[in-house]
Amino acid sequence: MMSKEKKQEYIKDMTSQFDNSEAVIVTHYQGLTMSQLDDLRGKMREHGIQFKITKNRITKLALEKTKCKDLSELFKGPTAVALSKDAITSAKILTKFSKENENLKILGGIMGTDILDVAGVQNVATLPTLDEARAKIVGILRSPAQKIASILLAPGSKIAILALEKSKK
């Protein structure tokens, strides 16, 4: 049993975490072993994502004063939340983990100000991460430059070959 002071501290802490997170994804973890939970937490921690098992009643109180208040209906049963600045990475990790472990159920979440259902979280998981998007843009930008250079160099080399052939005659 938590003391009143600890409950108030928990509510204050969770309120600030919900407000400071760009993405919040709510899951059910019933049936996962401690080693599976530790494995998931480790994967999340590598990317700066916090994965917390919550106390539903107290968490609902913390949600009341945040942008995430619409998620309070998801907090029933054994609930855990992923709190992060990067919605895509957390959605990818949770979606992949839930495919490998059917005991982890994604319930929904919030990205920025958009409420996501299960399908919404899975759609976000298919988006490229920021680094992947940057790599694609660089590839797109480099490609035309390489083509232009080869086009400009090709006629020059053909002229040089023609000049060489003419000089031999």
Digit-by-digit pLDDT tens for the chain (169 residues) are 678 888 888 888 888 888 888 889 999 999 989 999 999 999 999 999 999 998 888 888 888 878 888 888 888 989 999 999 888 888 999 999 999 988 999 999 988 888 888 888 888 888 777 777 778 888 777 776 666 666 566 666 666 665 677 677 6
Of the candidates 76, 47, 57, which has an alpha carbon nearest to the alpha carbon of residue 7?
57
- Compute the distance between CA of residue 142 and CA of residue 55 in angstroms, rounded to an integer: 51
Q: What is the pLDDT of residue 44?
A: 92
Query: In this predicted structure, what is the pLDDT of residue 83?
Result: 92
pTM for the predicted model, two decimal places: 0.73
The pLDDT, as a whole number, for residue 66 is 85
CA 169, CA 167: separation in Å to the nearest integer?
5
pLDDT of residue 38: 92
- Residue 119's nearest CA partner among 109, 128, 130, 104 is 109
Distance CA 130, CA 84 (A): 14
DSSP state of 85: S
| Phi, psi for 80 (deg, rounded to 5) | -135, 150
Q: Which residues neighbour 105 within 8 Å (Cβ) at sequence distance 6 or greater? A: 27, 28, 98
Rounded Cα–Cα distance for residues 39 and 54 (Å): 18
| Amino acid letter, 60 | K
Among residues 117, 126, 11, 40, the alpha carbon closest in space to that of 74 is found at: 117
